[in-house]
Amino acid sequence: MNSIISEHRAIEYMIHRFSLIELLDDSDHTPEQLAIAAKAKQIILQNYKTPPTIKELARLCATNDFKLKSYFKKVHKTTIYGYVQKLRLEKANLLLREKLLNVGEIANEVGYKHQGHFSAIFFKTYGVYPKDLKISL
């Protein structure tokens, strides 16, 4: 079990460090692409638990859904869904460390309706189930 915890902490550290890296060279992106992608990211950060649909997000960013998806992926190197999922899992990871909520409550707190779906995605990302991590921390 100690090796699982050590591996989890190493993966968690690497994910955190990589998430801090912003694009160093914006020369491949137009000002419009950067502005739309940044606005979408800001909206998602504020609403990751219940994010707007792609169409709603595009409307909020004053663009269409095709441009939004394309620009977001080009600028942030991930899909909108992938980014939302990353935010939710990072928050869930923090909540698991606090040990105040059970796994079902944490899943609900970060926006997942079903604990099983949350656990499967968490395992796929971190290589350990949230219940096992909660017990071992």
Domain membership flag for residue 51? yes
Asked whether residue 68 falls in the same domain as residue 110, the answer is no
Domain end residue (candidates: 53, 77, 101): 77
Note whether 87 and 45 are within 8 A (CB). Answer: yes
In a domain, 60, yes or no: yes
- Give domain status of residue 12, yes or no: no
Are residues 66 and 34 both part of a single domain? yes
What pLDDT score was predicted for residue 98?
85
What's the CATH number where 116 sits? 1.10.10.60
Residue with tokens 């796929």: 124
* Structural domain that includes position 62: 29-77
Q: What is the pLDDT of residue 23?
A: 44
Do 73 and 88 sit in the same domain of this protein?
Answer: no
d(C-alpha 74, C-alpha 90), whole Å: 22
Phi, psi for 45 (deg, rounded to 5): -60, -35
> How many domains are contained in the chain?
2
| 33 and 73 part of one domain | yes
What tens digit of pLDDT does each residue of 34-58 get? Answer: 999 999 999 999 999 999 999 999 9
What averages of pLDDT result for each successive group of 10 residues across the chain (137 residues)? 62 61 63 95 94 97 96 94 95 88 94 94 91 73
Q: What is the pLDDT of residue 28?
A: 83
Residue 21 lies in a domain: no
